[in-house]
Amino acid sequence: MAERTVEPARPLEPGAVTAEAPAPLTARARGRSPFPDGAARHWILSSIIWLTVVDLFGLVLATEFVSPEAFGGISFLSFSRIRPSHVNGVILAWLTMMYFGALFYMLPRLVGTRGMWSERLGIICAWAWNLMYLLGVIGLLTGHSQGREYGEFIWPIDIALLVIWCLNIVNILATVSIRTIRPIYVSVWFFIASPLWLAVDYAIGNVIWHPGHVWGAPSGALDSSLSDAILNWWYAHNLFGLWLTPMLLALTYYIVPRVTNTPLYSYTLSLISFWGMAFFYTGVGDHHILQSPTPSWLKTIAEVSSWMLLVPVFAFTINILGTMKGNWDKFFTNLPLRFTITAFFFYFLVNIQGAFEAIQPFNKLTHFTNFVVAHAHLALLGAFTILGMGVIDYMVAQMYGKPLWSRNLTEWMYWLVTVGFTGFFSVLTLAGFQQGFSWQDGIPEVNVLNELHAYYIARGIFGAMIVASGIIQIVNIGMTIFTNTAERRRRETLVVAEAIAPPPVAS
């Protein structure tokens, strides 16, 4: 096990940024952050609106599982149109906008600049991204799709999103190039690499050199259906492995040392988590189609890569647990930290689950069942979304220089999304096992579906709890921005008490 380079009880010097830790929280005057944060605010505030919108899409889907004719006759609410709108919305609207907002907030603080290289460019890109996703989802709801999972947006939308993405990359690299802090903290490694990885992944995965019919299918696909399926799942899994997951690590590596005022447990482990992610994640995608006639060597690569991926996962896990040593009391008092650590545990679980899905007999049992749906939500909702909600609460309090309007609402938000997701995940996992074992026993599909009805009702109830948590966050952040929270500061415990308190003094 890696050893600490700094004693855990020793506080960081105010303003110190090293390769092992971001600058600690220090006392500062009430009021707005000294950083402009214009780009961060636009991306963050947009993301929380989209979170509720795409959650509502998901609730429509859950309702249709219980009552398939609930929205009969309304074409844009049909399952085949709502489902890609929901999935693309979660990844490209909610999570991507949240991640870029967090990046634009954290990067200047880690590299010692007064803001992004161009805050204006970041703001323009935020508006453009909102517009392109809106146009893309209108296209999906009106039946204009490329028909490729995770790649449904039509070719012009793909090109526009790539252009905006590349402009963000320019902004990021230019900001790093003018840094005044020479050591590069591990989060910055991810902030540089992950957008670059995703740009390549998105361009190749959406086959942008093959536009076809630009408004509707078929377009953006390879001529061979088997080759296209292989490429499609290489792309889809790399959305998780080269963008959503690395950014989770970057944000966790920032929040945990910052809030606990503790140096990162091991810089070496952080590099293992970075390079391990880069080397092993790109070969995992084929484990989604192990039951298809793909080449055996490709299946072997997917199976081995899925288990080798546990190397960076365990490096990250040990690093965070080591940093949290002696700080677990803050888990109960600091809500952004509680969100972050909860997401961290779900992230660990989803990787263990993914490794087992790469085992042929287990994959055969769970393939095409609700177990796979539960697995996807464990990543997108349990890990990435819960992390995002906590990080947003932290950043808003920092940017506006005041605690959130209501700690009680934040507590409600935490428990609604955590309990709602846990129930959601559990019923889908149980439903998946019931499907798999029933199919192995030769029970007809129509009989299996009847047995799943109770699970789908529970799924809808737990889904409604998740939607409610998103609405609560909008209310809480809106009231934080537009009202004076001084009175509630006296009545409630601060959501981010560490954000306005001096660091602890070593005894």
Residues 247-262: pLDDT tens digits?
Answer: 999 999 999 999 999 9
Instruction: Please choose, from the candidates 345, 318, 320, 328, the residue with its C-alpha nearest in 3D space to the C-alpha of residue 2.
Output: 318
What pLDDT, on a 0 to 100 scale, did the predictor assign at position 494? 43
pLDDT attached to residue 178: 92
Which of 263, 107, 121, 266 is closest to 191 using CA atoms? Answer: 107
Residues 355 and 469 in one domain: yes
Please tell me the distance from the alpha carbon of residue 478 to that of residue 45, in angstroms, as a whole number. Answer: 9
In contact, 198 and 243? CB cutoff 8 Å: yes
- Number of domains the chain contains: 2
pLDDT mean over 370-397: 95
Residue 286 to residue 291: CA distance in whole angstroms: 10
User: What's the confidence (pLDDT) of residue 489?
Assistant: 54
According to DSSP, residue 35 is labeled: S
Query: Within this chain, do residues 249 and 213 fall inside the same structural domain, yes or no?
Result: no
Domain boundary at 189, 221, 253, which? 221
The predicted structure's pLDDT at residue 431 = 96
What pLDDT score does 1 carry? 38
Q: Is 402 helix (H, G, I), strand (E, B) or coil?
A: coil
Q: In the numeric block, which tokens belong to residue 453?
A: 């009805």
Residue 69 lies in a domain: yes
Position 12 in a domain: no
On whether both 178 and 263 belong to a single domain, the answer is no
Contacts of 224 (CB under 8 A, 6+ apart): none
Sign, Cα dihedral of 254, 255, 261, 264: negative
Q: Report residue 506's pLDDT band, with 50, 70 and 90 as the boundaries.
A: very low
Q: How far apart are the first and last CA of the chain?
A: 27
Residues forming a β-bridge with 21 = 18
The structure's pTM equals 0.89
Does residue 15 lie within any of the structural domains? no
Last residue of a domain, one of 159, 186, 221: 221
18-32, 377-391, 420-434, 435-449: range with lowest mean pLDDT: 18-32
Rounded Cα distance between 3 and 317, Å, is 15
Whether residue 383 lies inside any domain: the answer is yes
E strand spans, 334-435:
none
38, 85, 191, 268 from 1: Cα distances, Å: 41, 44, 27, 10
Assess contact for 269 and 319: CB atoms under 8 A: yes
Domain range for 90: 33-221
* Residue of 132 and 35 predicted with greater confidence: 132
Give yes or no: residues 217 and 250 share one domain. no
Question: Are 147 and 294 members of one domain?
Answer: no
Q: 147 and 103 in one domain?
A: yes
CA geometry: angle 181, 185, 189, nearest 5 deg: 115
Q: Are residues 59 and 176 in the same domain?
A: yes
Both structure tokens of 224: 């061979």
Asked whether residue 164 carries a pLDDT value surpassing 60, the answer given is yes
> Could you tell me if 265 and 201 lie in one domain?
no
Residue 493 has pLDDT above 70, yes or no: no
Average pLDDT over residues 393-399: 93
Of 221, 254, 279, the position where a domain reaches its end is 221
Q: Considering the chain, what is the average pLDDT of its residues?
A: 87
- Are 416 and 275 in the same domain? yes
The pLDDT score that the predictor gives to residue 220 is: 67
Q: Angle at CA 391, nearest 5°, toward 255 and 481? A: 130
Asked if the structure places residue 11 within a domain, the reply is: no
User: At residue 412, does pLDDT exceed 70?
Assistant: yes
**How many angstroms separate the CA atoms of 126 and 143, rounded?**
26
Residue 84 lies in a domain: yes
Beta carbons of 337 and 259 less than 8 angstroms apart: yes
- Residue 24, domain member (yes or no): no
If asked whether residues 368 and 483 sit together in one domain, one would say yes
Do the domain assignments include residue 230? Answer: no
pLDDT tens-digit profile of 310-327? Answer: 999 999 999 999 999 999
Give me the mean pLDDT over the 404-421 stretch.
95
Cα 447 from chain centroid (whole Å): 36
Q: Can you give the CATH number for the domain in which 100 is found? A: 1.20.210.10
Cα–Cα distance for residue pair 482/477, rounded to 1 Å: 9
Q: Could you tell me where the DSSP H helices lie in 142-180?
A: 155-177
Rounded Cα gap, residues 447 and 432, in angstroms? 14
Contacts (Cβ under 8 Å, ≥6 apart) of 226: 292, 293, 294
Q: Does 286 lie in the same domain as 150? A: no
Please give the share of the chain, as a percent, with pLDDT higher than 90.
68
Of 12-16, 183-187, 358-362, least confident by mean pLDDT is 12-16
Which residues have CB under 8 Å from 295's CB, separation 6+?
Answer: none
**176 and 277 in one domain?**
no
